Amino acid sequence: MAMNLSLWEKKRYERMKSGFVSIIGKPNVGKSTLLNAIINQKLSIISRKPQTTRKRVLGIYNGEDSQIIFLDTPGIIDPEYLLHKKMFDYIINSIKESDEILFVVDCYDYNLFKLELNEKITKTLHELAIPLLLVINKIDLLENRNTTLKIINDIKEYKLFNEIIPISAKSKDNVLELVNIVKGYLPEHSRYFDDDNISDASTKFFVSEIIREKIFMLFHDEIPYSSEVIVDEYKERKRGKDYIAVTLYVERESQKKIIIGKGGVSLKRIGERSREEIEKFIGKSVYLKIFVTVKENWRNEENALKSFGY
Ligand code: GDP
Ligand code: MG
């Protein structure tokens, strides 16, 4: 990189736009898919089952003249468990630290936005004067453009949103345009992070997300929801494989039996699939050791949730 910046380069640098953008919305509308489409790397766990994103995932988009830091949030749901209440607090907290909000809806039930944008959220947004952009996702599923236009016109009447942007996160349709619109609402600010940062979340976190995703793929009913994955140890080794030790917590002895499977086959499958993806993610071989432990009722216990970082 040349040391002498031209005047034009200096100007451009000064006009750098950077800021924090929260992605909020109901479970399953495609928030994680959108984040991944923008960041171009698989950062946030994706699943057909709702509520797989329990913690905020930070993804950083580095443009030439911009840096957008995305906060992925758990889906908005009515608090039922203590865990859900904590998830809702995360949403409110990430809104408060944001320069802009992307509110994502599915093109098939976009009418729900009135319910989903509950009072507490709208009030917070209004008080802090944060731009609110409505993203209508999955338009690849709509038959034609007219349907999309009709949806946009319907919603415009409510005058709630600074922008209404139809996209398909899956086929990346209109995603670049969305990024440009997002940039437009950011304040002028220098980069918050070095531009080779894709995420500030640790490799440990990605490892646990990958394993949780495999559990969601391999098991049904309550098992995935009753599981939590904690990486106890991650030893990087210059020569040879990295060593990763993980504890997989479930809520009951019966679930532990299912997770391990006859002669350990199920656990072996979780291990193999996770290892493959972890290796792809970090680009080197790993030795993955998974221990299964019962922690009764962890979803409803303040102490357990705290020790898991919620
Ligand atoms: P989240 O819970 O809001 O984070 O949703 P996910 O990103 O996990 O996506 C939920 C499901 O919707 C997954 O099966 C995605 O593949 C699917 N999905 C996401 N975006 C699109 C899209 O633009 N079009 C279609 N057809 N499916 C999508
Ligand atoms: Mg998600």
In a shared domain, residues 178 and 222 = no
Q: Which ligand is nearest to the CA of 44?
A: 2
Does any domain span residue 3? no
In a shared domain, residues 233 and 275 = yes
Q: CATH no. for residue 208?
A: 3.30.300.20
pLDDT by residue for the chain (310 residues), tens only, comes to 344 555 555 555 557 899 889 888 888 899 889 988 998 765 555 554 544 444 455 677 888 888 888 876 655 555 555 555 666 676 677 777 789 989 898 988 777 666 566 666 677 777 878 898 999 999 999 888 888 888 888 888 777 789 999 999 999 999 999 999 999 999 998 877 766 544 445 677 788 889 998 999 999 878 888 898 988 888 877 788 888 999 999 999 999 999 999 999 999 999 999 999 998 877 789 999 999 999 887 777 666 666 655 5
Does any domain span residue 195? no
Given 157, 189, 221, the domain boundary residue is: 189
Does any domain span residue 24? yes
In a shared domain, residues 78 and 147 = yes
User: What tokens were used for 220?
Assistant: 């049904």
Q: Which domain holds residue 257?
A: 203-307
Residue minimizing CA distance to atom 25 of ligand 1: 138
Q: CATH no. for residue 110?
A: 3.40.50.300
In a shared domain, residues 170 and 223 = no
In a shared domain, residues 152 and 219 = no
Rounded distance from Cα 176 to ligand 1 centre (Å): 17
Does any domain span residue 90? yes
In a shared domain, residues 183 and 107 = yes
Across the chain, mean pLDDT equals: 79
Give me the amino acid identity at 101. Answer: I
In a shared domain, residues 106 and 138 = yes
What is the model's pTM? 0.63
Q: Residue holding tokens 């006859």?
A: 262
249-300, pLDDT tens digit by residue? 999 999 999 999 999 999 999 999 999 999 887 778 999 999 999 988 777 7
Given 127, 155, 189, the domain boundary residue is: 189
Does any domain span residue 9? no
Q: Residue holding tokens 């950083």?
A: 60
Does any domain span residue 92? yes
Residue 231 pLDDT: 85
Q: Which ligand is nearest to the CA of 169?
A: 1
Rounded distance from Cα 112 to ligand 2 centre (Å): 18
Residue minimizing CA distance to atom 15 of ligand 1: 30
Residue minimizing CA distance to atom 10 of ligand 1: 28
Domain count for the chain: 2
The binding-site residues of ligand 1, defined as CB within 6 angstroms of any ligand atom, are 25, 27-33, 46-48, 50, 53, 75, 137-138, 140-141, 168-170
Residue 14 pLDDT: 57
